[in-house]
Amino acid sequence: MFYEIPAFRLVGLLVALASGYLLLRLVHSRKISGFEFLFWFGAVSFVVTLSIYPQFNQTIFSYFSFTSNERSDRLIGLAFIFIFLLSCIVFYYRNRLFTCEQQFLNTIQVTTANQFIHKHKEQLGESELFILIPALNEEENLKSVLEKIPTEICGLHPQVIVISDGSTDNTVGIAIRKGAEVVEHPINFGGGMALKTGYRIALAMGARYVVTLDADGQYQPNEIERLLHPLIENKADMVSGSRVLGFFEQNLDPSNIFRSVGVRIFNIILTAITGQKITDSSSGFRAIKAEYLPHLTLIQSQFHSSEFLIESLKNGLKFQEVPISFLKRISGESKKPATWAYGIGFLRAMLKTWLRK
């Protein structure tokens, strides 16, 4: 009888019925469908069933050989069920959020790239070599970097594109004054996303080779030829500059020592999982034949260097490392924090990239 239902079960029943009504309204307005509807319909039905027929939980527990009649044990069992359901909800909506984020970023990239391409359509096919420089508030360093880029590299005249990733200083103004083309993101999306915008533009503009270079002045533009030669001579499809094989200007700051040790550990891990000798897993100074870019799945906004490297190896690209010089920053501080959290994030990105299909 209705009056025999305890208060807490009655509340649960009313909440479930209200949720069911809301669910139907959402379905009617087409704001929810498919898997979401089935999941929430099942959850509401489960709560309604427990509220009307509490012995139903015993049926579930017996299925898992959990037959205790103690009230506390049954409550613990129910708690596990609800924790499991909550975990499923969190996992599902986290994936939904990630998907929406990627769609949003892709929209920004396509729009930004198309605007640039339309503005520079008369330059289509003019250059086979594109140098992409992602920059976030690098006004004090960018001038020197752009001045050091040779006007001719391996017989090719480079097209230099600076991707300002939400810069709030005079990065854009300096890039324009130094003759570089500029692409602007409205806000900071991360270096990986800035480079994806650059890749899209380079492909549309007829690039044959693409070089990536940081804006902080630590990599040396006069060494681009080292990366480009193996591509032109068909000895490699992707070339990465190695600070370990080359010259690494010492910086005794504790954060830099911590970062250096971390990179060496990641080199060992990456070598083990790929079967390819890797001496510098986080180098942002690299070159690739543009024809292979569409085959790479790139989603990392922050830990993009290792992702790019792993994706290249997974897609069977001929890989080569060449020695490069790595100097102290001209000015400012690194955007990459030397923290345990950053290291764990880097490792997680490496493993996720290697494991995904």
For the chain, what is the mean pLDDT? Answer: 84
Res 14: pLDDT: 75
Q: Are 193 and 101 in contact (CB under 8 A)?
A: no
Res 329: pLDDT: 77
Report the C-alpha gap between 132 and 284 in whole angstroms: 11
Which residues lie closer than 8 Å to 335 by C-beta, 6 or more apart? 136, 191
Q: Where are the domains of the chain?
A: 2-99, 125-355
CATH architecture type of domain 125-355: Alpha-Beta Complex (3.90)
Query: pLDDT category, 3, cuts 50, 70, 90?
Result: very low
Helix axes 35-52, 7-28, angle to 10 degrees: 160
pTM (two decimals): 0.77
pLDDT digits 0-9 by tens, 132-186: 999 999 999 999 999 999 999 999 999 999 999 999 999 999 999 999 999 999 9
Q: Across 45-54, 254-263, 298-307, which has the greatest mean pLDDT? A: 298-307
Copy the structure tokens of residue 37.
């509807």
Specify the pairing of strand 129-135 against strand 209-212.
parallel
pLDDT beyond 80 at 106: yes
pLDDT digits 0-9 by tens, 316-345: 999 999 999 998 877 766 666 556 777 888
pLDDT beyond 60 at 112: yes
